[in-house]
């Protein structure tokens, strides 16, 4: 990129014109070097800006992850505190805890039916299952 133009006026002295042209050429070389350095620095600056933008996006994503983890942590703490309170009531205040809330449902009628339709009696050191007798108390089973 030429900033200075060489002299071409024919009325000037040839030595003076050569001297001026030499100065203009040196000035152009100096400006070309400066523009090269400027463009190099501008490229580095743009690279840094690009990395900063990328890092800002990562930080934003990590902030979302931290918020999610904090919420999960707080929810877990709250659930643990509730469970601890229930256990303390059970241990220190003898309150019943229904632990079957998390257990899968099953068909209780089949088990109840089997238990209610059969009785176990001890006959000469062996167990006999009798379906006709409907004894309900443990003390009646061994009669």
Residues 67 and 112 in one domain: no
First to last CA, the chain: 118
Residues 88 and 139 in one domain: no
Residue 3 forms part of a structural domain:
no
Residues 119 and 64 in one domain: no
Residues 136 and 94 in one domain: no
Residues 19 and 46 in one domain: yes
In this prediction, residue 14 carries a pLDDT of: 78
Mean pLDDT of 30-38: 95
Residues 89 and 110 in one domain: no
Residues 98 and 112 in one domain: no
**SS3 letters across the chain:** CCCCCCCCCCCCCHHHHHHHHHHHHHHHHHHHHHHHHHHHHHHHHHHHHHHHHHHHHHHHHHHHHHHHHHHHHHHHHHHHHHHHHHHHHHHHCCCCCCHHHHCCCCCHHHHHHHHHHCEEEEECCEEEEECCCCCCCHHHHCC
Residues 96 and 138 in one domain: no
In this prediction, residue 73 carries a pLDDT of: 96
Residues 81 and 114 in one domain: no
Residue 5 forms part of a structural domain:
no
Residue 26 forms part of a structural domain:
yes
Residue 119 and residue 107 in contact, taking contact as beta carbons nearer than 8 Å: no
Residues 34 and 99 in one domain: yes
Q: How many domains does the chain have?
A: 2
In this prediction, residue 120 carries a pLDDT of: 53
Residues 86 and 135 in one domain: no
Which residue segment(s) compose the domain that 133 sits in?
Answer: 105-143
Ranked by mean pLDDT, the top range of 48-52, 84-88, 89-93 is 48-52
Residues 77 and 119 in one domain: no
The rounded distance, in Å, linking the Cα atoms of 55 and 63 is 12
């Amino acid at each position: 990129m030429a900033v200075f133009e060489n002299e071409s006026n024919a009325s000037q002295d040839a030595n003076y014109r050569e001297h001026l042209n030499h100065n203009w050429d040196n000035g152009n070389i100096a400006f070309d070097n400066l523009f090269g350095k400027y463009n190099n620095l501008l490229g580095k600056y743009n690279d840094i800006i690009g990395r900063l933008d990328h890092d800002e996006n990562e930080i934003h994503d990590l902030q979302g992850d931290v918020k999610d983890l904090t919420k999960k942590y707080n929810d877990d703490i709250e659930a643990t505190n509730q469970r601890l309170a229930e256990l303390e009531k059970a241990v220190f205040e003898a309150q019943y805890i229904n632990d079957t809330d998390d257990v899968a449902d099953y068909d209780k009628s089949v088990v109840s039916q089997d238990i209610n339709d059969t009785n176990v009696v001890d006959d000469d050191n062996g167990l006999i299952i009798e379906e006709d007798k409907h004894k309900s108390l443990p003390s009646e089973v061994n009669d």
